[in-house]
Amino acid sequence: RAAEWQLDQPAWSGRLRITAKGSTAFIKLEDKTSGELFAQAPVEQFPGIAVEGVTDSSRYFVIRIEDGNGRRAFIGVGFVDRGDAFDFNVALQDHFKWVRQQSELARQAQDLEQGPKLDLGFKEGQTIKLNIANMKKKEGGTGSTRPRPAGPGGLSLLPPPPGGKSGSGECPAPLSMPTQLPGTPITDSLLSWPQPTAAPAADVWGDFAKASG
């Protein structure tokens, strides 16, 4: 119980730091001016006997200090501010949470190494069979229509009509017909191309002249 301690006359006051080396955390009591080490308590497990909270306050703890020669002692440590006591607890919890995670990862890696390894290589004379019938069917359905050739600029051009000649893609301009008034026959003077020569009148009406009746 912290109430049994002489809290108004502490035997020592300074700063407290928590460091870690491997899986062991070290609570170090240092001079707040010079940083000289007063005592330290190695913690290998938390919660554990190395650090224990008192029953009547959340700001006071009992820690087990060691001098490195095998001598140990239990002393009481308290914080003036409750937030510092909270940070003290959280720092120890975070460290040993990390220790447990590292131990779990190492155990999983060891299980993978000792477990049976899968041999995915082909044995001598071993073959595999692939069913690609569905693939051919799909290719036949989609490949029935032939793609049209793409013209300049990625546009698709229609094929030329039967009997036509593929040119440069330009359509010839339609021939301009001369203007004709109603009732006026088209003569050679209006057209620029020669007209077929008409047969003589005798040849045209010869069959009717010879016909009887």
Between 85 and 170, the higher pLDDT residue? 85
CA distances from 161 to 117, 158, 166 (A): 68, 9, 9
Q: Is the pLDDT of residue 34 over 80?
A: yes
Highest mean pLDDT among 10-14, 110-114, 168-172, 202-206: 10-14
Cβ atoms of 99 and 43 closer than 8 Å: no
Residue 160 predicted with pLDDT over 60 = yes
Distances (CA, A) of 197 to 42, 127, 188, 191, 194: 129, 85, 11, 15, 9
Query: What confidence score (pLDDT) does residue 60 get?
Result: 93
Higher-pLDDT residue of 56, 127? 56
Q: Is 41 a residue whose pLDDT tops 90? A: yes
Rounded distance between C-alpha atoms, residue 59 and residue 78, angstroms: 6
pLDDT value at position 199?
55
pLDDT at 114: 72
Q: Quick one: pLDDT at residue 171? A: 53
Residue 162 has a pLDDT of 66
pLDDT at 142 over 90: no
Q: What is the pLDDT of residues 52-72, one digit of tens each?
A: 999 999 999 999 999 888 899
In the predicted model, what is the mean pLDDT of the chain?
Answer: 76
Domains and CATH numbers, the chain: 2-113 (2.30.29.30)
One DSSP character per residue, the chain reads: -GGGS-TTS-S---EEEEEEETTEEEEEEE-TTT--EEEEEEESSSSBTTEEE-SS-SSEEEEEEE-SSS-EEEEEEE-SSHHHHHHHHHHHHHHHHHHHHHHHHHHHHHHHHHSPPP--SPPTT-------HHHHHHHHHHTSSPPPPB-GGGPBPPPPPTT----SSPPPPPPPPPP--TTPPP-TTT-SSPPPPPPPHHHHHHHHHHS--
Give the mean model confidence (pLDDT) for residues 39-49: 90
13 or 176, which is more confident: 13
**pLDDT (0 to 100) of residue 183:** 55
> Residue 143 and residue 189: Cα distance in Å, rounded?
59
| CA–CA distance, 63 with 16 (Å, rounded to integer) | 12
